[in-house]
Amino acid sequence: MKERNPVIDAVRVGSVALVVFAHWFGAYVGVENGAVRVGIGVSGPVMWTLTWVLQVMPLVFFAGGYANTAGVDAARARGESFLAKRAMGLMIPAIPLVVLFSAVSTAGGTLGLQPVATVGHQVMKPLWFLAIYLVVVALAPLMVRLHDRFGLAVPLVMTAVVSTVDFIRFSTVGLVADIGIGGDVNFLFVWLTAHQFGIAYARGSFAKLTRPWLSALVLAAVGVMVTMVFAGPYPPSMLGLPGVPISNLSPPTLAMIVLAFAQVCVFLLVEPWATRKLSGERAQRLLKRANPLTMPVYLWHLPAGAMLLGIALLAPEFLLPSPGLGWWLSRPLWLALSTIALIGVLRVVRRVDRALPTVDSRWPLAGLLICAYGVREGTRHGLDLTNPHASHAVLAMAIGVAVLLVEAQRSGSRLGSAWERSAGATGRPSSSPSVLPASSALR
């Protein structure tokens, strides 16, 4: 019988739900001078402060670190490749999205339908998460080995690297949003550090921290974050908002690591209480049903909203109010319609998912990294194939998926739905990599 960690399950489901809510609630789309304008309808100092609470992506990577540790342990114990079984499970939910919006964006670009091309580009932007998570998963076996040998020194070294990049970035005149390769370094090491916290939790590295110590560490982290903003050069927002030249998200900064550490400490404080609350049969059943939906929901929540936008653009003066009272009053209806649209989209996507092949990839590392590069370029340039940069991104994704489809060995049965492999069972990893945990390959 598989043992699950209900709190990790709840963290994953709750974090993705909060991200979806923030994207749907805060989005502003309007037509100005014949051009579609996509932005955020809320901002200001109060909202900047709230972003430090609403920014939950560190928790998503933390949960992934815990789950991937169990997957690596299970694969080692069975003498299998963790990546070979894991690779296609990450990409399959994204394949229908890329195919659909490549067609939509290209049609918009070819026919000169600027609103269609713009919406097609916007739905790709949140896939930055998939791009970096593919790399993180590709490195997961290595990162587990590094933790088993060096412990918490691993995230400390990565934090030092991020601090160095930030020092170079902020020591120039003003705030520099584009720092080239330094930004890519931070993208990797910030999220890899949050993932490493999950590995450390899985290995019991935080077990000796008492509640007074955890409370003190939370307060210290908050104090550091306040100092970084008010006495240092760090931006006041953890998300990209109007009125903030840059954020701590793109590329991520040291502030994101401090926030991740604070969130981990809060998680450890509430874990005993949350475990009791989530131990009931009803809660377990709900989490078991919701977990496989996390990746598809994340991938498709904006495309579902984009379909509604396609209708709203027919009469934007009535259906897309400008920021103000009308925009605020439209939020509940927009959330309800987006939810209905997403449910409908997921029903269709799940049927497509079941029709796609699944294999134990022969070259999973190469395939994952090529796919990650393609997704990253797609988030930057969109999917309009009339754009050379976009066509390059789609080609890279196609090559990456083709590499993943080269089988390591033939088998007569499927590995299960990609949705199930995308979330998996969050088993409790063993303290020793030689012991088989009650888990399968995990998200």
Residue 431 lies in a domain: no
Residue 405 lies in a domain: yes
Helices 325-355 and 294-312: angle between axes, nearest 10 degrees: 130
pLDDT tens digits for range 170-198: 876 444 445 666 678 899 999 999 999 99
Residue 428 lies in a domain: no
Residue 56 lies in a domain: yes
Residue 134 lies in a domain: yes
Residue 80 lies in a domain: yes
Residue 102 lies in a domain: yes
Tell me which residue range forms the domain holding 190: 6-423
Look at the block and give the residue holding tokens 């040291």. 254
pLDDT tens digits for range 314-367: 676 666 777 778 778 888 888 898 899 999 988 888 887 777 777 788 889 999
Question: What pTM value is reported for the model?
Answer: 0.86
Residue 443 lies in a domain: no
Burial class (CB in 10 A: 0-12, 13-18, 19+), 204: exposed
Closest CA to 87 of 136, 131, 138: 138
Report yes or no: 131 and 375 within 8 Å, Cβ to Cβ.
yes
Say what the pLDDT of residue 203 is: 95
Helix (H, G, I), strand (E, B) or coil at 243: coil
- Model confidence at 115, in pLDDT bands (50, 70, 90)? low
pLDDT tens digits for range 263-318: 999 999 999 999 999 988 899 899 988 988 898 899 888 888 777 777 777 676 66
Q: How many domains does the chain have?
A: 1
pLDDT tens digits for range 15-59: 999 999 988 887 777 666 666 666 677 777 888 888 899 899 999
